[in-house]
Structure 1
């Protein structure tokens, strides 16, 4: 927007043991496995209106060429040497750890189990650069937020910066070390080099290195800040190349306060959210609720509340009310006569200075704060409507000049706010401009510090409701249904274990219905409940191991199915005559309940 020549690079790091293992599990080659993932990433970026100038894959031929040249150059300069790695390795994080760095014996980054690693490897002499990298981190503003500097220095440099393992022999999915065929280049020399290989360093694919390097900003998630703030600058120092100007380590998007994980079943599908609420609403919520340097806590309720409060009530309402009033009172085109009032001053001042307030926040990656400042002005504009009461002014034609002034001030405020919101919500803001009668020249960056850019006789055009209000309760229920992990049961394996039975075998099992009339916990057991069942035959007692999942109060009065001809058994001294029917529901056991009108003692066939 500011007119700078910008290169935005993104891409995928595709090598490593983790990928090799995952591909083997699926019965495909590593390249086939990553091809599918890359296609999905690109589809998501397109859906989310995330644009980029270049997408690099670490499997690209030109990148491989660069990495091999960098590795060999560092080796020839004496910065890489051969040794033996012995220690702890976390496969998911692709990180080596010393015993002292582990937390409760597990990976300090992800909390997963680590395993012993012992293999021949090449090492990068990070230790030679400990003083240089500490000085770089502490005496510059390279690493943001500043709190991460202390974390890096105290955790990795002060205790003694260790040399880094940069090759592996225990797997083959990686870039070969061209002078030692047993080794593949390990992830961090491979992955980190993408920033310069994508510009043409060490290859003939591109010729942009002199133009765009050093980078103004690297942006990465906090769990790999260590590699970007320590390893990457040291590699560049070894290569005698300029260092990037800034690195911002952003937080995670947590779900209900917990890190998203497929194994936990708390992964949110962005495609579902975008389809239901619009891409811009999803983009806005994530960017608005991701505090600078901290994690963003995502829940469906938080997202929907944010959409209703900020986008529907504040922004959407401001646009629709202003356009509707201009249309109702002046047929859509404002008259040019103006009458100002002291009530106008604060709004005009806030709108006029907004660009100067927001610009440095954007440059510092303080996106949440930038959005907060924009919405302060939007809230002030809504308050201005209440203060000036256009519907009262409209009752007397002599107030037309004043009414037109109020509406013009609102349209100008919307112009400035919507232009500054366009990087966050690129799909919706052009609709706002169409409704308020703003052209491309009106929303250019150099016009955002000036109040009074729209034509005096601006013409508005009523459009759709930009952000309809959402019924939060019903939407949460629907989202839970849509995003519930689909369970795939390998039926053939289950049948093989159980064996195939005949109809005669099944006929031996007598299933009947009954009603639970009483229920209590068995004192000697945490798992067992003693249940009295009315089976229309004098009643029976069943002992069931469901105390972890149901309280006695929840069960009394419920209709159930039970096995009536199961041999009696004693459990914790209590006789059990039957077994309830229940199903496995993930981490829970769920009893099969019947309609309350089902007669007791009926046979189930």
Structure 2
């Protein structure tokens, strides 16, 4: 196996069903995981649900069920979403599992042993919806004069006994972290924002509650439950067997990447590294805060009636077209917008018309004109070699940009390779060569077969199911679908000698259509 690579998503808060933002993060993480597998890494991909906290307790009370019943029901929706979207995770970590309680309590004990926890009284502003504490200076005025959090959520004045974490002690270590390891937090704009926040001064953090009991009990102080973010962040350790010194923990920690939304960067890049420093544990190598997906340029909300069910979206347009659109359309790290029209336009232009048509035409001509037979002994013209070199160069660009999470740029490079192949088809005109120079026609079609394979393997992390159907039709074995296979100089001769023949191909990327009511809207 290759070098370990451990990637996590933020664990979803299941007080409601999954929305498009959950799907976006899950898809991006899955693309990253599949890409690193294709690059030869030994990948571990963890996701899950964050099921404790006051918000869950209040929601359960509203519905007349227990918090555990609510979390059991709602977590299943997230598991189902992952199944629909072809999210190939290794671990789905729920915070209600006994092992997670043990891990969280051990992290607490280690922070306590460092002298970083003390009992006091908390008085301040708390947002139930954000599960976050805010300083009065951070609040904004609402339309009717009410105080709101920076996210625009209601806050309430809270007074109760609480355990505190000495966050102020870690102000300079955190600033040193941002300075000495600039890749710890990406994009750079998020790191600059957090550095400015920390430089402005850190107050100690209230890390327990007594006003409700739905959470992990504080060891030795059973009337308190841990602040939900202490518990939630520990999930990244739980799945590795922490606190036991397991082979999994030794192999996978620290995580290579925590992939999260930009709204929870503070928790992951101020609180989390401070907790880990206190507990004497290594810090994750990188946290990446991606942007939001906007529905036709608007943030989704129940009041606007524009909340999208990602499962329904995938059923309407197909899982792989949705995956491709989200990775192609939005510059990763920035906010982006989507609409049914944009999905159809992008996927038809690039997947169906450009790549899908290239693959279909190439395989169809081999089937019709050469009885599906491959020939590895045909002489290559200068144009053939030039195309294969150009395609490979664009795929190297894709690999480089995907490593730095620039998916849109990587897929742009992939499309340039697709365009080069289509231009080659137009210039070589194999349909005309069929009558004038059949051997040259065959050489052109063999060149196209090799290039389609290269393009397919390169984009497979993004659209895996569709590409696997295509590669099945091309006789490419499952073990030969990673980037290492592109360096195998003898693969084509081996396939041709095996007696494999291309059958009548079935299109991998059919054109999408808008429902009539949306097409006329």
TM-score, normalised on structure 1?
0.75
Residue 37 of structure 1 pairs with residue 37 of structure 2: no
Q: Is the 8 A contact 1:323 1:460 kept in 2?
A: yes
Q: Which of residues 501, 504, 510 in structure 2 aligns to 1:459?
A: 501
SS at match of 2:42: coil
Please report how far the alpha carbon of residue 475 of structure 1 lies from its aligned counterpart in structure 2 after TM superposition. Answer: 6.6
Partner residue, 1:275: 315
Partner residue, 1:315: 355
Partner residue, 2:343: 303
Residue 12 of structure 1 pairs with residue 49 of structure 2: yes
Partner residue, 1:286: 326
1:336 and 1:16, CA in 2 relative to 1: closer, same or farther beyond 3 A? closer
Cα deviation code 1:304-331 (max 9, x no counterpart): 1112111111111111111111122212
Higher relative contact order, structure no. (Cα contacts within 8 Å, ≥ 6 residues apart): 2
Residue 372 of structure 1 pairs with residue 412 of structure 2: yes
Partner residue, 1:63: 100
Show structure 1 runs of 5+ residues with no match: 481-605
Q: Is the 8 A contact 2:240 2:252 kept in 1?
A: yes
Partner residue, 1:588: none
Q: Is the 8 A contact 1:442 1:454 kept in 2?
A: no
Show structure 2 runs of 5+ residues with no match: 1-37
Q: Which of residues 50, 64, 70 in structure 2 aligns to 1:27?
A: 64
SS at match of 1:448: helix
Q: Distance in 2 between matches of 1:292 and 1:273?
A: 20
Q: Distance in 2 between matches of 1:451 and 1:306?
A: 34
Q: Name the Cα RMSD after superposition.
A: 2.1
Residue 134 of structure 1 pairs with residue 175 of structure 2: yes
Q: Is the 8 A contact 1:419 1:429 kept in 2?
A: yes
SS at match of 1:88: strand
1:18 and 1:327, CA in 2 relative to 1: closer, same or farther beyond 3 A? same
Q: Distance in 2 between matches of 1:442 and 1:474?
A: 42
Please report how far the alpha carbon of residue 472 of structure 1 lies from its aligned counterpart in structure 2 after TM superposition. Answer: 3.3
Partner residue, 2:191: 149
Partner residue, 2:455: 417
- How do residues 142-221 of structure 1 correspond to structure 2 at under 5 angstroms? 142-154=184-196, 156-203=197-244, 207-221=247-261
Partner residue, 1:393: 433
SS at match of 1:454: helix
Task: Name the stretch that deviates more: 331-340 or 57-66.
Answer: 331-340
Bigger radius of gyration, 1 or 2?
1
Residue 116 of structure 1 pairs with residue 157 of structure 2: yes
Q: Is the 8 A contact 1:412 1:453 kept in 2?
A: no
Please report how far the alpha carbon of residue 449 of structure 1 lies from its aligned counterpart in structure 2 after TM superposition. Answer: 4.1
1:346 and 1:452, CA in 2 relative to 1: closer, same or farther beyond 3 A? farther
Q: Is the 8 A contact 2:165 2:207 kept in 1?
A: yes
1:415 and 1:98, CA in 2 relative to 1: closer, same or farther beyond 3 A? same
Q: Is the 8 A contact 1:65 1:203 kept in 2?
A: no
SS at match of 1:182: strand
Please report how far the alpha carbon of residue 73 of structure 1 lies from its aligned counterpart in structure 2 after TM superposition. Answer: 2.7
Q: Is the 8 A contact 2:110 2:278 kept in 1?
A: no
Residue 256 of structure 1 pairs with residue 296 of structure 2: yes
Please report how far the alpha carbon of residue 261 of structure 1 lies from its aligned counterpart in structure 2 after TM superposition. Answer: 2.3
Partner residue, 2:139: 102
Q: Which of residues 449, 468, 478 in structure 2 aligns to 1:440?
A: 478
Q: Distance in 2 between matches of 1:452 and 1:254?
A: 47
Partner residue, 1:357: 397
Task: Name the stretch that deviates more: 48-57 or 465-474.
Answer: 465-474
Please report how far the alpha carbon of residue 109 of structure 1 lies from its aligned counterpart in structure 2 after TM superposition. Answer: 4.8
Please report how far the alpha carbon of residue 419 of structure 1 lies from its aligned counterpart in structure 2 after TM superposition. Answer: 0.9
Q: Is the 8 A contact 1:251 1:290 kept in 2?
A: no
Q: Name whichever structure is richer in helix by fraction.
A: 2
Q: Is the 8 A contact 1:250 1:293 kept in 2?
A: yes
